[in-house]
Structure 1
Amino acid sequence: MQFLAYILIYPFLWLVSILPFRLLYVFSDGLYFLIYYVIGYRKKTVVENLNLVFPEKSDAEIKRLTKRFYHHLCDMVVEAIKSLTISESQMMKRMTFSNIEEIHQHENNNKSIVLMCAHYGSWEWIFILQNHVKSKGYAVYKQLGNKYFDKLVKRIRAKYNSYLITTKDTFETLQKAKNKGELTINGFVSDQSPKPWKAHHWLDFMGIHVPAHTGAELLAKKLDMAVVFFAVKRIKRGYYQTTFTTLAENPNEFKDYEITDAFFKLVEQQIYEAPEYYLWTHKRWKHRGKTAEDFK
């Protein structure tokens, strides 16, 4: 059944991926109409989230923000599909780095890197970073249910010397790399909502008390990796610029969860500057009003 789904869906994805960008975004506009007006995909969740973190905004402002978010979401979907066939030169032109020397400095210091980001802007094309660095790239991800699509996604990432690893394999994989003296740069999307009974740390995110993932910080301390935040800014449709900010050169010099707190502060800055580029379909604040004690 998984293979049948793959052979039925993959040809359509491939055909979309070979569209020139002008037509690709026409397709995105049609997808927006379908998702926003016809299906209403998670629209209730999006509006609830926006009202929750922006209580000062009017209904009209929330509606305009919701529409802009769905336009961006659909662009991200088609850009992810475009990854199937996009050329290396096109990706390098469309995903640029404002201060790549920040990464080079850590490499020159013989430090592997934990690279933290949020579900903001576009993280689909960040893998072209491998063309600018000497470190081997890994990204922690949740394995797809369909093994054929899972292999496809891994194959796409491997084109740029980036490799996907599951959470359970992360420490073992990176420990082996460290033992062999390999430099690695390791991507973590760290703004998700963890299971509250497993959370080690709670903090205020967008003014709301919630549990936070701390795995990136803990791994960095165990393996003595530098911690770097990357922010993605949308320049114009289909063009993004990434800026790096070092959170910790030597993470063990920081108190527990200070790095995680600093990461979320930077994510908040991004969201306040241009909230339409955050992934509002996730129920990020579903545990609001509770504390760690409620789950013990």
Structure 2
Amino acid sequence: MQLLVYILVYPILWFLSILPFKVLYALSDFISFILYTIVGYRKKVVLENLKMAYPEKSLNELLKIRREFYRHFVDIFMEMIKSITISENQMKKRFVFKNIDFIKSYENQKRSIILMGSHYANWEWMVYMGSLIQHTGTAVFTPIGNKYFEKMMLKSRTKYGAVFVKPKYARKFYEENEKKGLLTINALVSDQSPQLQKAKYWTNFLNVFVPVHTGAEELAKKLNQVVVFFEVKKVKRGYYTAEFKLLAENPRKLPEYAITTQFLKEVERQVNTAPEYYFWTHKRFKHKDKYEEWKELKS
């Protein structure tokens, strides 16, 4: 059944991927209208997230952000489909790294990097960086139900040399690379909500007191890798820039959770510049009232 679904759907995805961007975005507008106006996909979740993150904003302001978010939300999926056949020359024009020399400076020092980022703008196109640097890019991916689509997705994401690993193998994978002396840049998108029983640290994030992921910091300290934040900005539809900022050059010297806290501050600053480009459909604050429950779990 998986193969049959793939055989039926893949030609449609491939056809969409070869369409000009103008046509693709026209289709995106249509799908966005259907998703928002008729289907109403997770509209309540998005609005509740926005209300918690921006209590000072009026309802009209929040509704405007929500509507713009859905337009961008569908654009991202269209751009993911476009990635199947997009050329390197197109990527070079549409995704510009403003300070790639910052990463290259650590190539000369033979230092591997933990690259922390968020689900903002088009984080997926960061894989293009692999064509510009000597570091081998790595990232964790969530397996999908259809193995044929998973293979298609990985082929698209690895065309610039990146290596993807499943979550359950990630820590061992990173440790083995470090033992081998491989020069890697390990991307971790760490702004989602962790499972309550696995949470270790709570802090304010977008005006809500919630548990947050600390794995990137823990890995950086274990392997003593440089920690860098990547900030993606949407210049206009289909065009992005990425800029790097140092979070920690010697992570073992910093207090516990200092890196995680600074990372979240950077994400907040990024999101606040244009909230409509953040990924609001997940229940990011679902554990906000469970601090006491968490303490009992840990006791």
Q: Which TM-score applies when normalising by structure 2?
A: 0.96
CA distance in 2, matches of 1:172, 1:30: 44
Q: State the Cα distance separating 1:58 from its structure 2 match.
A: 1.4
CA distance in 2, matches of 1:288, 1:140: 26
CA distance in 2, matches of 1:49, 1:42: 11
Is residue 52–residue 207 contact of structure 2 (8 Å, CA) maintained in 1?
no
CA distance in 1, matches of 2:40, 2:77: 16
| Corresponding residue SS for 1:284 | coil
Is residue 54–residue 207 contact of structure 2 (8 Å, CA) maintained in 1?
no
Q: State the Cα distance separating 1:60 from its structure 2 match.
A: 1.2
Q: Could you list the structure 1 runs, at least 4 aligned residues long, displaced by more than 3 angstroms after superposition.
A: none
2:297 aligned residue: 295
Is residue 117–residue 187 contact of structure 2 (8 Å, CA) maintained in 1?
yes
1:141 aligned residue: 141
Q: State the Cα distance separating 1:279 from its structure 2 match.
A: 0.4
Query: What RMSD over aligned residues (CA atoms) do the two structures have, in Å?
Result: 1.1
CA distance in 1, matches of 2:104, 2:245: 13
CA distance in 2, matches of 1:245, 1:122: 18
For 1:293, the aligned partner's letter is: K
**Correspondence list, 1:253-292, <5 A:** 253-291=253-291, 292=294
CA distance in 2, matches of 1:104, 1:294: 46
**Correspondence list, 1:168-207, <5 A:** 168-207=168-207
For 2:96, the aligned partner's letter is: T
1:157 aligned residue: 157
Identical-residue share of aligned pairs (%) = 49
Unaligned runs of 5+ in 1: none
* Deviation larger for 153-162 or 175-184: 175-184
CA distance in 2, matches of 1:49, 1:276: 12
Is residue 13–residue 81 contact of structure 2 (8 Å, CA) maintained in 1?
yes
| Corresponding residue SS for 1:255 | coil
Q: State the Cα distance separating 1:208 from its structure 2 match.
A: 1.0
Q: Which TM-score applies when normalising by structure 1?
A: 0.97
**1:20 and 2:14 aligned:** no
2:54 aligned residue: 54
CA distance in 2, matches of 1:210, 1:8: 42
Q: Deviations over 1:105-140 (max 9, x none)?
A: 222211101111111111111111011110111111
| Corresponding residue SS for 1:260 | helix
| Corresponding residue SS for 1:124 | helix
Q: State the Cα distance separating 1:158 from its structure 2 match.
A: 1.9
For 1:115, the aligned partner's letter is: L
**Correspondence list, 1:32-111, <5 A:** 32-111=32-111
CA distance in 2, matches of 1:204, 1:285: 11
Unaligned runs of 5+ in 2: none
Q: State the Cα distance separating 1:294 from its structure 2 match.
A: 4.5
| Corresponding residue SS for 2:202 | strand
For 1:259, the aligned partner's letter is: I
Q: State the Cα distance separating 1:175 from its structure 2 match.
A: 2.1
CA distance in 2, matches of 1:135, 1:294: 43
